[in-house]
């Protein structure tokens, strides 16, 4: 049964204990594995009752979704900041965004737990970023489409959608199984986008 239940919404505000519970779940997953995460253990770590954990989170499936949504917020914030730094240069914005995401992923405790088979974490959580990642991909692509549209790229909407899909899927692939450094991967994807747009990458492949 897939662990994701549908569209991945932005994390609701919830009560004052929601974010500490999610943070504790991420830390416990990284340290001891997903099977070690129980509502009772989270209640103990956060210093609340088990009923409070259920009230704030719901089921363990909902907790898994909330954990990923919590981390996705951080990645999308990094992407938004990269675009804000380059309001007049789409290729540079994409380069900066890709590099920021991959550097953030490199030191992300939840991603390391999901990508690793140690502590029994991977079998249940790996689908969150692989076979059941459709909702996550959709949210990332919607955000990027909104940001890219502001640059008025010289492509019709269908082709812009193709480019965004390519970049998002490539980045997720490198998040899960990096084949090069964040800097070099960002260079490569920026170069591809520049070629598609018919504009020079400036500077071209700075980390060859």
Is 89 part of a structural domain of the chain? Answer: yes
Please write the tens of the pLDDT for every residue from 67-94: 888 888 899 999 999 999 999 999 999 9
CATH number at residue 157: 1.10.357.10
Is 204 part of a structural domain of the chain? Answer: no
| Residue from 43, 169, 170, 68 nearest 125 by CA | 68
Q: Please state whether the predicted TM-score (pTM) of the whole model is above 0.95.
A: no
Is 8 part of a structural domain of the chain? Answer: no
Is 115 part of a structural domain of the chain? Answer: yes
Q: Quick one: pLDDT band at residue 103, thresholds 50, 70, 90?
A: very high
Is 74 part of a structural domain of the chain? Answer: yes
The answer to whether residue 36 scores a pLDDT higher than 60 is yes
Q: By residue range, what is the domain housing residue 159?
A: 18-197
């Amino acid at each position: 049964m897939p662990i994701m239940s549908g569209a991945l919404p932005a994390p609701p505000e919830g009560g004052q204990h929601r974010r500490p519970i999610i943070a504790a779940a991420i830390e416990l997953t990284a340290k001891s594995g997903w099977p070690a995460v129980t509502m009772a253990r989270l209640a103990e770590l956060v210093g609340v009752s088990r009923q409070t954990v259920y009230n704030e989170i719901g089921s363990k499936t909902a907790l898994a979704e909330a954990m990923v949504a919590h981390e996705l917020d951080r990645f999308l914030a990094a992407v938004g900041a990269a675009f804000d730094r380059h309001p007049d240069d789409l290729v540079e914005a994409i380069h900066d965004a890709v590099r920021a995401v991959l550097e953030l992923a490199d030191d992300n405790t939840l991603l390391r737990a999901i990508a690793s088979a140690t502590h029994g974490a991977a079998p249940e959580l790996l689908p969150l970023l692989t076979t059941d990642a459709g909702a996550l991909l959709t949210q990332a692509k919607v955000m990027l489409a909104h940001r890219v549209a502001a640059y008025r790229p010289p492509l019709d909407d269908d082709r812009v959608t193709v480019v965004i899909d390519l970049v998002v899927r490539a980045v997720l692939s490198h998040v899960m199984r990096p084949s090069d450094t964040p800097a070099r991967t960002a260079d490569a994807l920026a170069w591809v986008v520049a070629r598609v747009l018919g504009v020079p990458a400036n500077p071209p492949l700075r980390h060859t």
